Amino acid sequence: MKKLMMFAAAMTIVGGAFADCGETATNNCALVYDVTVSLKTTLPKSGSVTTSVSCSDVTGVICYRVPGTMALKGFYTACACDCDSFLGGTLTLWNPKAKALATEGLMNWTVFNLIGKTETDIEALWSMVDATDGTGLSGAGFGKWDAKADRVSSISGDVVGKLLPPECQVSGCPAAVAFPCSETQEDSIGFTIAYGTWSMKYNATQSKKLATTGDGSLSWPSYL
């Protein structure tokens, strides 16, 4: 499995194996949600510059950052259909353009409430942050609760966070450099920004496959 070092978000990657619910699904029920994350962030670019950068072994050539976009897709999965199991589900995101895994881990839902007169609306707040390096994303949004099926139908909203710098193949400077505005801001150059939108929507077909035959039958990209 090829992994894109976007952020570490409590990841546990073991030989390309994802959570398999084929034998553990409670009451033969599991949940799969299609997830999309559209980010504005920085992308790497290499070229000659007049600014002196100590890490470069190539005179005048560095890897630097420019504004860009990143589109991620994935699944959010849980091996049972009750609310507690949903909140303990696993998010797996990949980057179709780079053909690489972006992250896999638990979403920490810090706020998750049913709201509205009929309790069929949702307010949600979550975060995926690596305690070791501080990278990660946090999202907030509103959604819909399917009262008849007793499950989340969909949630969407905004996302913001900081990631590891992008990289490119330049001798001595694989991580795209940034330049602090002042000495007090030097610690910030080890990160890059990310913000945008996110959404998840219940996938009935994939949920049935996960509950009955396990994750191997899901529509994972071939490069994972």
pTM of the model as a whole: 0.84
Asked whether residue 5 is domain-assigned, the answer is no
Contact 125, 111 (CB under 8 A): yes
What domain count does the chain have? 1
Confidence band, pLDDT 50/70/90 cuts, at residue 60: low
Confidence band, pLDDT 50/70/90 cuts, at residue 30: very high
Asked whether residue 171 is domain-assigned, the answer is yes
| Amino acid code (one letter) for 171 | S
Q: What is the model's pLDDT at position 49?
A: 66
Asked whether residue 14 is domain-assigned, the answer is no
Asked whether residue 130 is domain-assigned, the answer is no
Asked whether residue 165 is domain-assigned, the answer is yes
Asked whether residue 31 is domain-assigned, the answer is yes
Burial class from Cβ neighbours inside 10 Å (0-12, 13-18, 19+) for residue 72 reads: buried
Please give the average per-residue pLDDT across 34-47, as a whole number: 94
Asked whether residue 211 is domain-assigned, the answer is yes
- Residue 182: how many CB atoms within 10 A of its CB? 6
Percent of the chain with pLDDT over 90: 55
Q: Which domain holds residue 49?
A: 26-106+144-217
pLDDT (tens digit, 9 = 90+) per residue, 79-99? 999 999 999 999 999 999 999
